[in-house]
Amino acid sequence: MDLYSIDKLMHETRQLAAKYREATGSTLPITGEIARFDAARALNLSLINDPNSPIDATGKEGHRQDKRIIIKGRAIFDSSKASPRIGQLNPEQDWDLAVLVLFDEHYDVDEIYEASREAIADALDNKKDSNRKKRGAMSIAQFKIIGERVWTRENGLETDVWENQDD
């Protein structure tokens, strides 16, 4: 199956998931797979297609090159509610970066954040609730604080350095 077909399938999947939620009030468990697809495209990652692998992708270039990456996704349906949590983050596993893909109510990417395993381990060590710490539970708000926004819908990839030099 070529990339165009996958793009089309993902577009249809987003529409179906949004319509399903609108009709039933429940969500389909597809956010993780859409997040993997979108993160790989936006951040130039190579997906690992092994369901037994603790990582989802590896970086191809820049500071992500050869880094082992886990990808989490979360759709935000009502931003006025308490900060939702993301899936388990286990700093004891063998990975380098965690990427969090945030979707709007139509499952379109709004923002992408990334955080190092060290930053996540430190944040989990500082948690007062030991049960949540053991499970690797973290809120989206906390991930945003310790992580770095690397992609936005408006601007695409966020870059730290802008150069305007004549060569």
Domain boundaries, the chain: 3-157
User: In whole angstroms, what is the distance from residue 74 CA to residue 100 CA?
Assistant: 8
- Unique residue bearing structure tokens 């604080």: 145
Reference 100, options 128, 123, 130; nearest CA is 123
Task: pLDDT band for 126, please (50, 70, 90 cuts).
Answer: confident
Q: 15-24, 30-39, 43-52, 156-165: which has the minimum mean pLDDT?
A: 156-165
Task: pLDDT band for 32, please (50, 70, 90 cuts).
Answer: very high
Q: 16-25, 112-121, 131-140: which has the minimum mean pLDDT?
A: 131-140
At residue 161, does pLDDT exceed 50? Answer: no
Rg value, the chain, Cα: 17
Query: What are phi and psi for residue 161, nearest 5 degrees?
Result: -120, 130
Query: pLDDT value at position 127?
Result: 63
The pTM (predicted TM-score) of the whole model is: 0.87
User: In whole angstroms, what is the distance from residue 35 CA to residue 41 CA?
Assistant: 10
3-157 maps to which CATH number?
Answer: 3.40.210
70-111: per-residue pLDDT in tens? 999 999 988 666 678 898 899 999 999 999 999 999 999 999
Reference 75, options 43, 117, 133, 35; nearest CA is 35
